[in-house]
Amino acid sequence: MKMYSAILLVTGLAACSSNPVANTADGGLGGAATGAVIGCVATIPIGCVPGAAVGAAIGGGVGAAGGLASTTPPPAPQQAYAPAPAYVLAPGYAPPAPGYVTAPVGAPVPAYGPPQAYTAPPASL
């Protein structure tokens, strides 16, 4: 009974990490142990050792492949993108005074005034 508990424990641990090497090793150990038990039980009339050896070889290969295939991807990083750079104004630069818009050549231009009412277009077009 202890053997079955060990088999279940090792097999259950096969897919618990994102490390493919650990999952392959754990799956191989669990598969080999399970295959050895099944092979031994199946060949009791002729002797346990040959069946256990074949079962361990086949179970180890299948378990290792299953452990590798069950590898979960690593967790996503905490920050997917680099932080935004800090924008610093050039030395000696002062923002424009409120109410003025800087023209492309750098001369101050008065801002637009308040919106004006427009007359309605004539009804006959």
Residue 110, pLDDT score: 60
User: Which two tokens mark 65?
Assistant: 């492949």
Whole-number mean pLDDT of the chain?
Answer: 75
Reply yes or no on whether the pLDDT at 39 is more than 80: yes
pLDDT band at 16 (very low <50, low <70, confident <90, very high): low
- DSSP single-letter state for residue 16: S
User: Which of the four pLDDT bands, split at 50, 70 and 90, describes residue 25?
Assistant: confident
Q: With CA atoms as reference, report the closest residue to 35 among 18, 70, 10.
A: 10
Tell if the pTM clears 0.75, that is, is over it.
no
Predicted local distance difference test score (pLDDT) of residue 3: 58
What's the Rg (C-alpha) of the chain?
38
Task: Tell me the C-alpha distance between 69 and 26, whole Å.
Answer: 12
The answer to which of 1-5, 48-52, 117-121 has the lowest mean pLDDT is: 1-5
pLDDT digits (tens, 9 = 90+) for 67-92: 888 888 877 777 767 777 777 777 77
> What share of the chain has pLDDT > 70, as a percent?
67
Q: Mark residue 117 as left, alpha or beta (left: phi above 0; alpha: psi -120 to 50; beta: remaining).
A: beta
* 99: helix, strand or coil: coil
List beta partners, residue 109. 101
- What is the number of helices (H) and of strands (E) in the chain? 3, 2
